[in-house]
């Protein structure tokens, strides 16, 4: 189903809590595949008005407002923008084939959620068009679409009906949904009494189990605990393997790398990269960390926090020679004593896959047993990572990990080889002691017998 800005679209359009669904009546309701793209986006743009309107009765403000408006109008004549509007999306175009698993990444405010809302028919575009072929299930903001007065059981059946499924079809999936969501005790409780975590568990279970042709998942998985997040990623991997189309938005770059094969990188409402996920993540980290070889943060009065992370490479400009020493320096602060404190550092490749681990815990030596700021220094005598670009993932105490920190590049200069070193050969290169002996013919005959 598709529509162009400014015109009513034709077809089926309904939405429910956690699941926003669209279906073309002329397409089969099941997971039948077609040769045409599952999603077509052409020159899609969305403009929002920003600021606050002046109350009509506020006469005292009118004179000042008129002066400011004239000033802005003069500026608008020069720049073409009066400052009251912002383009959340600007001329975005792409196609997604049936069965593709596509990630969407970018900084906050880059237009990711706006794009998904347009595809899910939650908002309409200012210009351009979006065509979605097949039954679509969307998991957007927490609590979107659930009827607060209905119970969890009733919302499951409601969502199934909106997806075009019969009551018997929903009943066959019902036990799987409830078991996955882990809300058996609260199944007959109105969802308005659910916590945000319970909302997410039920919404995701419904969206993933009712067999949509296209599944759109926004960052809402960050609300759940780590075990449930892993459970959701496993389910999405199963959905992808079944041949369905998935659009996945997340700031968890490791999850994007593990789940998707293609990724769109958005910046200021435009697509700046569309290609293999590994290349997209590398470009995103390059953009995000440009000019920021050192991570810096401020202390918190209530929670432990990483204040500073720096990587001291063997050469200038964040270049690390393979086999040379590397030093990682981390400042942490805690406003209260910690029990069993720990600091974990993972070195991740351009796809955000961890390839090395360095850690310290209170059991090894006293760590943050009193309030204050501490400097932890880890020295690696000889870094044996293979050539490539790397970043750090750092986790202190029980806080969420910090990703994409302190980018550096490992080079293979000075290594003897009969062939050129090339990317992708391995992740880790070790020096082995080789022994070569020529076997005599008699020895070879004995071995063959």
Quick: pLDDT tens for 258-284. Answer: 788 899 999 999 999 999 888 887 788
Q: What is the pLDDT of residue 76?
A: 41
Asked if pLDDT for residue 51 goes beyond 70, the answer is no
- Strands 127-132 and 39-49 turn out to be antiparallel
* Helix boundaries (H) for 144-191: 152-162, 167-181
Over residues 426-446, the mean pLDDT reads 79
How many Cα atoms occupy the beta-carbon half-sphere of 72 within 13 Å? 11
What CA–CA distance (Å, rounded) separates 267 from 438? 61
Instruction: With CA atoms as reference, report the closest residue to 207 among 433, 427, 420, 16.
Output: 16
Asked if pLDDT for residue 309 goes beyond 80, the answer is yes
Residue 99 lies in a domain: yes
Residue 436 lies in a domain: no
149 and 37 co-located in one domain: yes
Residue 101 lies in a domain: yes
Asked if pLDDT for residue 36 goes beyond 80, the answer is yes
Whether 345 contacts 358, CB under 8 Å: yes
What CA–CA distance (Å, rounded) separates 10 from 2? 8
Quick: pLDDT tens for 163-177. Answer: 667 888 888 889 988
Mean pLDDT of the chain: 78
244 and 301 co-located in one domain: no
Instruction: With CA atoms as reference, report the closest residue to 248 among 281, 273, 215.
Output: 215
Domain termination residue (choose one: 247, 264, 286): 286
> Could you give the angle at which helices 196-209 and 152-162 cross, rounded to 10 degrees?
40
Q: What is the pLDDT of residue 288?
A: 67
191-196 LR contacts (CB < 8 Å, sep 24+) = 191/17, 191/146, 191/147, 191/148, 191/150, 191/151, 191/152, 191/155, 192/148, 192/149, 194/152, 196/142, 196/143, 196/223
96 and 207 co-located in one domain: yes
> Could you give the angle at which helices 196-209 and 226-241 cross, rounded to 10 degrees?
10
Q: What is the pLDDT of residue 173?
A: 87
pLDDT tier at 83 (50, 70, 90 boundaries)? low
Over residues 98-122, the mean pLDDT reads 89
Asked if pLDDT for residue 363 goes beyond 90, the answer is no
Residue 191 lies in domain: 2-286
Q: What is the pLDDT of residue 221?
A: 62
164 and 298 co-located in one domain: no
75 and 222 co-located in one domain: yes
* Strand, coil or helix: 160: helix
Asked if pLDDT for residue 58 goes beyond 80, the answer is no
Q: What is the pLDDT of residue 64?
A: 42
Over residues 178-199, the mean pLDDT reads 86
CA angle 296–380–416, rounded 5-degree value: 120
The first and second tokens of residue 432, run together, are 């082995």
Over residues 301-308, the mean pLDDT reads 93
Work out the number of other CB atoms within 10 angstroms of the CB of residue 56: 7
Query: How remote is the C-alpha of 28 from its chain's centroid?
Result: 31
What CA–CA distance (Å, rounded) separates 411 from 420? 12
Specify the higher pLDDT residue, 196 or 57: 196
358 and 265 co-located in one domain: no
Residue 423 lies in a domain: no
pLDDT > 90 in the chain, percent = 28
DSSP letters spanning 261-287: SEEEEEETTEEEEEEEHHHHHHHHHHH
Whether 187 contacts 153, CB under 8 Å: yes
Dihedral angle sign, alpha carbons of residues 419, 275, 33, 202:
positive
Q: What is the pLDDT of residue 372?
A: 93
203 and 349 co-located in one domain: no
Residue 434 lies in a domain: no
Q: What is the pLDDT of residue 49?
A: 82
Quick: pLDDT tens for 284-301. Answer: 877 765 556 789 999 989
Asked if pLDDT for residue 24 goes beyond 70, the answer is no
Instruction: With CA atoms as reference, report the closest residue to 311 among 324, 329, 295.
Output: 329
Quick: pLDDT tens for 237-248. Answer: 788 888 889 898
Domain termination residue (choose one: 261, 286, 311): 286
What CA–CA distance (Å, rounded) separates 286 from 409? 11
Q: Specify the range with the lowest mean pLDDT, choosing from 19-23, 49-53, 294-298, 390-394.
A: 19-23
CATH number of the domain residue 403 falls in: 2.70.50.60
Quick: pLDDT tens for 387-412. Answer: 888 999 999 988 888 988 998 988 77
Over residues 142-148, the mean pLDDT reads 67
Query: How remote is the C-alpha of 178 from its chain's centroid?
Result: 26
Over residues 216-241, the mean pLDDT reads 74
Specify the higher pLDDT residue, 94 or 54: 94
124 and 229 co-located in one domain: yes
Whether 250 contacts 221, CB under 8 Å: yes
To which residue do tokens 């593709």 refer? Answer: 100
Domain count, the chain: 2
Q: What is the pLDDT of residue 284?
A: 81
Residue 420 lies in a domain: no
pLDDT tier at 225 (50, 70, 90 boundaries)? low
168 and 34 co-located in one domain: yes
Q: What is the pLDDT of residue 208?
A: 77
177 and 309 co-located in one domain: no
Q: What is the pLDDT of residue 141?
A: 60
Residue 427 lies in a domain: no
Q: What is the pLDDT of residue 90?
A: 92
Q: Kindly report the length of the chain.
A: 449
Residue 60 lies in a domain: yes
- With a threshold of 0.85, does the pTM exceed it? no
Residue 418 backbone zone (phi > 0: left; psi -120 to 50: alpha; other: beta): alpha
Asked if pLDDT for residue 70 goes beyond 70, the answer is no
Q: What is the pLDDT of residue 445?
A: 59
pLDDT tier at 226 (50, 70, 90 boundaries)? low
Compute φ and ψ for 443, nearest 5 degrees: -65, -40
> Could you give the angle at which helices 167-181 and 196-209 cross, rounded to 10 degrees?
140
Q: What is the pLDDT of residue 447?
A: 62
CATH number of the domain residue 203 falls in: 3.40.50.300
277 and 337 co-located in one domain: no
């Amino acid at each position: 189903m598709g529509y162009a800005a400014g015109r009513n679209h034709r077809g089926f359009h309904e939405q429910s809590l956690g699941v926003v669904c669209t279906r073309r009546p002329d397409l089969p309701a099941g997971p039948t595949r077609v040769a045409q793209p599952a999603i077509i986006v052409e020159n899609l743009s969305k403009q929002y008005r920003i600021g606050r309107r002046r109350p009509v009765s506020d006469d005292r403000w009118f004179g000042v407002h008129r002066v400011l408006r004239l000033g802005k109008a003069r500026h608008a004549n020069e720049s073409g923008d009066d400052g009251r509007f912002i383009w959340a999306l600007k001329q975005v175009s792409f196609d997604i084939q049936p069965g593709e698993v596509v990630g969407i990444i970018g900084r906050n405010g880059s237009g990711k959620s706006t794009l998904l809302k347009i595809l899910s028919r939650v908002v309409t575009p200012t210009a351009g068009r979006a065509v979605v072929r097949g039954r679509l299930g969307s998991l957007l903001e927490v609590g979107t679409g659930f009827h607060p007065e209905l119970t969890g059981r009733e919302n499951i059946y409601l969502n199934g009906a909106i997806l075009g499924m019969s009551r018997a079809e929903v009943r066959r999936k019902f036990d799987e949904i409830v078991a996955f969501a882990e809300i058996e005790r609260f199944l007959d409780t109105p969802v308005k009494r659910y916590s945000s975590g319970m909302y997410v568990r039920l919404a995701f279970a419904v969206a993933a189990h009712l067999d949509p042709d296209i599944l759109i998942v926004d960052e809402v998985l960050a609300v759940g605990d780590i075990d449930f997040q892993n459970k959701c990623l496993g389910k999405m991997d199963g959905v992808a393997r079944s041949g369905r189309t998935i659009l996945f938005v997340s700031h968890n770059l490791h999850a994007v790398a593990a789940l998707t094969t293609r990724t769109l990188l958005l910046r200021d409402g435009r697509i700046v990269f569309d290609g293999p996920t590994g290349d997209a993540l590398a470009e995103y980290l390059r953009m995000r960390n440009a000019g920021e070889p050192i991570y810096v943060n401020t202390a918190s009065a209530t929670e432990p926090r990483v204040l500073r992370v720096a990587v001291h490479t063997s050469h200038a400009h964040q270049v690390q020679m393979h086999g040379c020493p590397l030093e990682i320096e981390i400042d942490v602060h805690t406003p209260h004593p910690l029990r069993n404190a720990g600091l974990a550092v993972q070195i991740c490749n351009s796809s955000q896959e961890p390839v090395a681990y360095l850690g310290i815990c209170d059991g090894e030596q006293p760590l943050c047993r009193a309030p204050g700021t501490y400097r932890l220094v880890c020295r690696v005598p000889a870094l044996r990572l293979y050539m490539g670009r790397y970043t750090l993932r750092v986790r202190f105490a029980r806080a969420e990990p910090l990703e994409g920190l302190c980018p550096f590049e490992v080079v293979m200069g000075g290594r003897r080889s009969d062939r050129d070193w090339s990317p992708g050969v391995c992740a880790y290169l070790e020096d082995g002691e080789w022994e070569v002996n020529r076997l005599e013919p008699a020895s070879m005959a004995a071995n063959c017998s």
